[in-house]
Amino acid sequence: RLLTNLERVRRGIGQDASCPVCGHVVEDTLHVLRDCLAANEVWEQVVPRSPTTSFFNSNLFDWLVSNLQSHKFMVSTEVRWASLFGLIRWRIWKNRNLYVFQGISWKDEEVVKVSMFCFSRGCGTEPFGGMGRGF
């Protein structure tokens, strides 16, 4: 579990369940990783909006499973979607924490760019593959 504000309230170590980034009433895992305005802007860089996609409409479990089990590749690249999806989720969470604890926020383009760079360097293919080096 991610230690979102909702989770902090549930554990008795917080009093405000709202999102510190966009002010939404409840900051749960799905909100942080997909539905928050900051996260949504990142995903819109790599996921085309269409009425047939369930990317922005499914619950947390279905969203994670369908994307992490995907065997698709990004258009015109050798980037496997499941790997990039995992890297972007991690970067969104890290970006949220940078904002909350240090007042620093990356632009959505930077989050995608760093995730793609990390993928190209093999960060997502080895245990702890470079993640501790600031990516």
pLDDT band, residue 103 (cuts 50/70/90): very high
Contact (CB, 8 A) for 116 and 79: yes
Q: How far apart are CA 89 and CA 103, in angstroms?
A: 20
Closest by CA position to 95, among listed 86, 104, 84, 82: 104
Three-state secondary structure readout of 57-115: CCCHHHHHHHHHCCCCECCCCCCEHHHHHHHHHHHHHHHHHHHHHHCCCCCHHHHHHHH
Q: Convert the pLDDT of each residue in 41-76 to its tens digit.
A: 999 999 877 766 789 999 999 999 999 998 888 766
The β-bridge partners of 73 are 80
The fraction of the chain above a pLDDT of 90, given in percent, is 63
pLDDT at 120: 72
Q: How many CA within 13 A on the CB side of residue 20?
A: 20
Helix (H, G, I), strand (E, B) or coil at 129: coil
For 9-26, how does the pLDDT look when each residue is reduced to its tens digit (9 = 90+)? 999 999 999 999 999 999
**pTM (predicted TM-score):** 0.83
Q: Where are the domains of the chain?
A: 5-133
